Structure formats: structure tokens, C-alpha cells
Structure 1
């Protein structure tokens, strides 16, 4: 078995550690961090399913810690709609130009996170019930199928619902884990899980779990306000990254 060059391994390990830490701390943002490193060392066809695999592994590791925040009666409408939205988003790929999509979503995230960072009393949405939750889940699933952007919609919605940090992760993590798992299965069916993928998986999964464990330990030390700030910073970074990549 031929290993990748040492320089590439170092870049990928650094990305897995950083992304695992962010995912363990916030419950989201794995692909955003990892791809910034990994695309320097591997093709997108390998990097995309690899982020899905490592993201799922990190979510599974941290599920016992945030399980108390899972409320199935509020989660299942989002989850069912999100899973249904993934193949729909994949079908829409041929009809939507990626750069305008990235630009629009990026600007939305920048405006939202900037506004929420300065308001004293964040708005809380109490109406809509399960149908509104399902619409948000569908949006997240479609965006996940189109551009691997399943995270922002449920993250924003959980904040607007006024959930605490455990409740936010109780929505975000099972949702993102399910969408990523579905994306991984799709990649396997498409034949992308080749020998190169397996070599990188053997390197990145353990490294991701180490980073996620450190992030999860820090998560236990922050309060709801600090968690909100962390999540808003990630949403802002995600928006800036999307806008920047849409201009290339």
C-alpha cells in the first residue's frame, strides 16, 4: 500500500484535528474547516465523502454528551423533511449555478450573524409549529444535496426558536449526521469510496475523534451565551468563505 506524501499527510491531519475540534465544540462546521486543508492534498471527489464520513464519526462520538438535549417530537419533522430534501437538492444541481447560490447564501449568513451579534435581545420565533420545522429541514436537506450546506438552516432556526446550547445541538447534530450519512451512501453508490478514500479515512477518522474529544471537553465549560457567540462566529466565517469562493 502506497501512502500519500508526508507533506500531504501533515496538511490532512492538521485539517482533521481542527475540524474535529470545531465540530466537537459546536456540533457543526466540520466540512467548512476540513475542506480548507484537504483540497490542497486530495481531489474534491475524495474530500467530499471523506468529510461526510469524519463528520458522522464525530457526531456519533459526541451524541451521548448532548443526548439530553434531543427532543424527538420537535426533531422528527425536520429530520424527515431533510432526508427527503437531499435527493431533491442533488437533482437540482444541473439547474442551479453554484456561484450565485454560494453568493446568496453567504451574504444571508453574514447579514444574519452580524445582526444577531449586536442585538441585545435576540428574537424568538414561537409560531409555525411542526410545519415550520419541516420547511426548515427541507431547506437544509436541499442545500445539503446541492452544495453540502445542510448545517446553516437548522443552526439558525434552533437559535431563533430560543433553544439552549444542548437543545440546539440536539437538533443540529442528529440532523447533520443523518444528511451526511445519506451523502456518504450516495458517494458509495456512485463509486467514489475507492482505495485512495480508504487510505485517507484510516488517517483522518482517528484524528478527527481526537480533535472532537478536545472540543467536546471545552463545550462542557461554556454557557449558553458563549455557545451562541461561537455559533455566530462559525456562521459568519461560513458566509465569508462562501462569498470568497463564489468570486474565484
Structure 2
């Protein structure tokens, strides 16, 4: 059941936007995950994902611009083309999915994702880049992006498993999120999902998104990386549990 109380609605809209911007600025990914955890309680899935997609486009743009001289974009091309192709498929799935099933699916993804990332430090196998597999992951990620604004998860996990340098990892998955978000916004516009209500809610959330992103970028350079990683993953895990129950 969606929360309709105006005060709670605005609080979840703005706090979700701020926290999503903070996570995105500090880690280069995760805004879609956080926004889903908050906004699926106040908006129908099609509206929440539409607003999420537009927000991800803008909230990923600022860190990319600010960090453009330090990020390594050499791995990006393998993922992007097929990621863009996957977006319309994900949108189609979204239009055919029951809301309760959708919330449960997203909650399950958040829990599995956070547990995986907690445990990934113990994985000692080195995975090598494979162009064919990169394209497949890009395509599935595009589907997840169109379906649930979660397109950054698989590229993030994949480049992490390859033990790539931090700036190469972020230079792959964050621009992937940005570019596929452009494709998603176009797809959602032609599908009729980008309504005036979406636009108004985005205008309300935009300052919180940008403030959180700006602070997150500062944190990226200053905070203990391991501690911040565990705090964020713990919050993502709790958000997933909330959606499941």
C-alpha cells in the first residue's frame, strides 16, 4: 500500500533523493537502488522508475564531470551499445509486471547484491575481461535499467571481480549508468511515462539530489573507503528487507 500522507510523501521524496545523490557521488553507483527503496513506497512502479531514471541521469552527470580527469573510460565501449539495446526490453517487462511482484523482486535484488558485495572481498579468483561477456552483461544491465533503474549493478560487480583499478571501475559503470539513462529517458518519453507529475516531483527532488551528490564527491576523496563501503552496503541491505516485508 502506497503512503499518501503529504508530509511523509515529501520527506521520503527528498530524503531518498539526498541519500541517493550522496551514495552516487561517493561510490559512482547505487542511486537507482536507494531511490527504489524510498520511492516505491510513495509511487506506483511505473512512476517511481520513470522519476528514478530521470534522476539517475542527472545525479551521475555531476560526479563524471567533476572526476573526468581521474577516471579511466577505456573499458566503457564494450558495455554501452548493448546496454542501450536492452533498455526497451526492460521497459516492456515493467509494463507487464504486477506491482507487488515488482517490489519483492527489487527487494530480493537489493539483499542479494549487498550480501554479494560484503562477501566479494573474500573471492580470490581473478576474472579476465571477455568482450563477448562484456556485451552480454551490458545487454542484461540495460534490461535491468529499463525494468528497475538498476542498470549499474552488473557492470559494477563484473569490473570489481576483474580487480581493475578503482578509477577504471568507476570510469566503466558510472558512464554506463549515465548513457543508458539517456536511452531510458527517451524510451520512457515515447512510452508516455514521463508525465507532468514526474516533472514536478523531479523539480522538487533535484536540489536534494545535487546537494547529496556534491557532498558524496567530497567524501569519495576523504573518507575511509572500507568503512564507507560497509555502511552503504548495510543500508542497502536494510532497504531491501523493508521492500521484502
| TM-score, L = length of structure 1 | 0.79
2 CA distance for matches of 1:237 and 1:132? 30
Partner of 1:124: 126
Deviates more, 1:143-152 or 1:108-117: 108-117
Contact persistence 1:75–1:171 (CA under 8 A): yes
Matches within 5 A, 1:48-63: 48-63=49-64
Partner of 1:109: 113
Contact persistence 2:91–2:147 (CA under 8 A): yes
2 CA distance for matches of 1:8 and 1:104? 24
Partner of 1:196: 197
SS of alignment partner, residue 67 of structure 2? helix
SS of alignment partner, residue 127 of structure 2? coil
Partner of 1:212: 213
Partner of 2:138: 137
1 CA distance for matches of 2:135 and 2:113? 20
**Cα displacement (A) at 1:238:** 4.5
2 CA distance for matches of 1:243 and 1:90? 25
Q: In the superposition, relative to structure 1, how do residues 127 and 186 fare at CA in structure 2: closer, same or farther (>3 Å)? A: closer
2 CA distance for matches of 1:42 and 1:216? 28
**Equivalences, count:** 238
1 CA distance for matches of 2:51 and 2:68? 25
Deviates more, 1:161-170 or 1:83-92: 83-92
Q: Does the alignment pair 1:86 with 2:87?
A: yes
State the Cα RMSD in Å: 3.1
Gaps of 5+ in 2: none
Partner of 2:176: 175
For residues 182-231 of structure 1, the C-alpha deviation after alignment (integer angstroms, 9 at most, x for no partner) is: 222222212222222222111111221011000101101247xx26x645
